[in-house]
Amino acid sequence: MIELALPSGDLQTALIAFKNGADGVYFGMRSFSARKGATNFSFEDLAIIRKYALENNKKIYITVNTLIADNNLDKVYALLAKIDFYGCDGIICQDLGVASLIKNCFPRLPLHGSTQLAVHTIEGVKVLQSYGFERVVLSRELSLEEIRKIRIACPDVELKVFIHGALCFGFSGLCMASYQSCNRSANGGACAQICRNYFTLDGTTDSKYYFSMTDLNAGQLIKQLDKMGIDSAKIEGRMKSKEYVASLTRYYRNILDDRDTIEDEEEVKTNFSRTFSTGYFEYKKDRLPLIDSEYSSHRGLLIGDVLYQNDDSIGIRSEYNLHPYDGICIFVPTASGRFVPFAFSLLQFHKDGGYYSISIPETRYNLTGLRVYKTSDSASHEKEIHDRLGKYQRPVDITFTIEKDRLIAQWEDVKIEKEFKTEEAKQKQALHDNLQKIFSEGGEGRFTLNTLKFNNNSEVSNPFLPLSVIKEMRRCFYEEINRLPLMVKPLPIIKSKETPLLPNRSLLSTTYPWNLEGVEVEGFTYYTLPPVTFNEEKLFKTVEDKLKTTINNRIGLNNIGQLNFALKHPEYEYFIDIYLFLSNRYAASFFTTILPNLVGGYLYPEFVNYEEPWPFTPTLCNDYKLPIFISRACFRHDSLSLPCKGCPQKSEFTITNQENSYQVLVKDCLTVVYKN
């Protein structure tokens, strides 16, 4: 059965997820996680959850899924070394330099490709698989049919699919909105959620949440994913509450186990829910819009309509039970087209059959006829788990040797010796059992016994060892290995090589940050491939035909799946373009190892400098203005609710937000948004 993987912003949430039926949890440590705002895990937390997972047949996945600048490589390497000590069932990473470090220096950590890598094609999955990734988290923008095709074409790699929670307007990993507007990097774990703001459409009085996506709720569709052989289903929400995680765990666990889910659905909506949709799973023309332009946050559970309003109360009819201190919200329409929430805590009410009379705060709003939602349930509370939980200790294989005049305890390079004159025991001893038992008591340190090998190299067939001597050997041995540093290898050496810079990035493309027509600069014809394509074969055929008409071709790669195209055509030169995340020198080394005809690359645009050594000189592109969004959500259809019938296939709009103006381009259902 498909694995149910839940988010965990802290240790308690992870334990509660497991208690309610999760197969696995994913979480970040307190640095280099794409959810900086979550509590995240300390290494003490990791030791506890690792032991719990091993003892209860559960899985833990750790996110190191931000892009890493050169000046943070030492820190992320130290982090990986500590994680490697405890172990996990997968490291979810976006940075290919980090992936290279894991593969070469920490090979026992399974590599999982983050959704931030924007893997949405067959070739993208195949590339990651060929370079050691055991699992790929697919982009959220794929339909069920597209996922099925990837599964059939890539049967030997694990696939993980996002099934519930917040959808981003910008394509996974490609969003620059937060950085350009607030200098907060989404790929650095500090997204400011610009897409949840409201904007005004030029030429109208409409001021709506044009980029605020509905929340995905796969519901019963998870069974289709299970049937097609998807390995893991991911739920979003490391910033959400314990109650949210618990209710979602129960909801999907009961769906998979064919149990009733009506109460679970109500609980899920109450804990946190925007307008629900099936996202891109059922992507087609004239679908229901994927944008809720009227309201961008938690709506809650619809419980009824306002039947009447007095000065200090309203009346509603509802089949739901209400409790004191429940959260209540009524959404009031405005002239601009948005809703504003009228929210209050339920303090006084009277129930008569299916009717409620509810006291409300003073308000100028006319609430009659408006819908009423329950946004929190005071009776819903997940108790924290206070069971005494042990910490993971790394098991080691110890060899205990008795010589004629000394005792030796050894593990790898750690060796403890004690002078001891061996004598014959007066009666038969279970010496090996005693050694095994005493060395199993490792205390509170980082290590414990796995196996103990006993060698008797003395001249005594039945040696006598006092328990006090064995215990002293154990104490000295564990003291010694607990002093060992975690990081035992230095960072791999990169050979520095100066290479010519690429042209100014603004010369290579105009309206869009990709260019399939080719542009001649300094004797070379430059092509830049699009970071998003849903017809990979057609794209590659188009590029192959274009390249036959020009000479001295150089091709910019903007998605991981395009590496296989480069390997298929070694007759051309290539460079790493802006959307392939050239973030640090180890990412550069990763690409040079794969592509011998690589001539350089553009440093990830949010990084303004780099530190030597590099295998080639990266070209800075800080002056090049990237779009804030590249989206599969069609602004014309999903944001403005216009029909697909009669669509010109190419549209342009202007929107404003406070003092900022934005250009929205729509072509063939793909939306690209620039900040003017």
> Count of CB atoms within 10 A of residue 307's CB?
15
Does pLDDT of 488 surpass 70? no
Three-state SS string over 291-348 comes to ECCCCCCCCCEEEEEEEEECCCEEEEECCCCCCCCCEEEEEEECCCCCEEEEEEECCC
Residue at token pair 């059965």: 1
Question: Chain-wide mean pLDDT for the chain?
Answer: 93
pLDDT of residue 310: 93
344 forms bridges with which residues in the sheet?
A: 328
pLDDT of residue 665: 97
> Count of CB atoms within 10 A of residue 486's CB?
14
Instruction: Note the pTM of the prediction, 2 decimals.
Output: 0.94
Nearest CA to 194 out of 627, 665, 657, 676 is that of 657
- Cα atoms found within 13 Å of the Cα of residue 172, Cβ hemisphere only: 21
pLDDT of residue 192: 87
**Banded model confidence at residue 38, pLDDT cuts 50, 70, 90:** low
pLDDT of residue 539: 96
Residue 18 makes CB contacts below 8 A (sequence gap 6+) with 25, 52, 53, 56, 58
Q: Please answer whether residues 655 and 195 qualify as being in contact, where contact means their C-beta atoms are separated by less than 8 angstroms.
A: no
Q: Please answer whether residues 181 and 660 qualify as being in contact, where contact means their C-beta atoms are separated by less than 8 angstroms.
A: yes
Residue-wise pLDDT tens digits, 301-352: 999 999 999 989 999 999 999 999 999 999 999 999 999 999 999 999 999 9
The DSSP secondary structure of 434-450, one letter per residue, reads HHHHHHT--TTSSEEEE
Backbone dihedral region of 171: left (phi > 0), alpha (psi from -120 to 50 degrees) or beta? beta
What CA–CA distance (Å, rounded) separates 529 from 545?
14
Nearest CA to 319 out of 288, 287, 351, 346 is that of 351
Q: Please answer whether residues 404 and 458 qualify as being in contact, where contact means their C-beta atoms are separated by less than 8 angstroms.
A: yes
Q: Which two tokens stand for residue 596?
A: 């011998």
> Count of CB atoms within 10 A of residue 292's CB?
21
Nearest CA to 241 out of 298, 317, 177, 170 is that of 298
The DSSP secondary structure of 145-189, one letter per residue, reads HHHHHHHHH-TTSEEEEEEEEEPPSSPTTT--HHHHHHS--GGGT
Mean pLDDT of 530-535: 96
pLDDT of residue 185: 84
> Count of CB atoms within 10 A of residue 540's CB?
19
554 forms bridges with which residues in the sheet?
A: 526, 573
**Banded model confidence at residue 36, pLDDT cuts 50, 70, 90:** low
> Count of CB atoms within 10 A of residue 527's CB?
23
Residue at token pair 């004191």: 324
Does pLDDT of 34 surpass 70? no
Residue-wise pLDDT tens digits, 55-78: 999 999 999 999 999 999 999 999
Residue-wise pLDDT tens digits, 189-203: 888 899 999 999 999
pLDDT of residue 305: 97
Residue 209: C-alpha distances to residues 15, 168, 493, 639 (Å): 36, 13, 49, 8
What CA–CA distance (Å, rounded) separates 584 from 598?
16
Nearest CA to 459 out of 421, 408, 497 is that of 421
> Count of CB atoms within 10 A of residue 592's CB?
19
Q: Please answer whether residues 238 and 7 qualify as being in contact, where contact means their C-beta atoms are separated by less than 8 angstroms.
A: yes
Percentage of the chain beyond pLDDT 90 is 81
Q: Which two tokens stand for residue 69?
A: 């600048």
Residue 323 makes CB contacts below 8 A (sequence gap 6+) with 346, 377, 378, 379
pLDDT of residue 459: 84
What CA–CA distance (Å, rounded) separates 397 from 451?
5
Mean pLDDT of 159-188: 91
Residues 195-233: b if buried by 16+ CB within 10 A, e if exposed: bebbbbbeeeebbbbbbbbbbbbbbebbeebbebebbbb
pLDDT of residue 183: 86
Mean pLDDT of 151-173: 96
Residue scoring higher pLDDT (554 or 426): 554
Mean pLDDT of 483-512: 88
Distance of CA 64 to the CA centre of its chain: 8
pLDDT of residue 487: 64
pLDDT of residue 642: 93
pLDDT of residue 386: 78
Q: Which amino acid is at 99?
A: A
Sheet order of strands, 371-376 included: 339-345, 327-333, 371-376, 301-309, 313-317, 355-359, 349-352
Residue-wise pLDDT tens digits, 138-161: 999 999 999 999 999 999 999 999
What CA–CA distance (Å, rounded) separates 462 from 440?
22
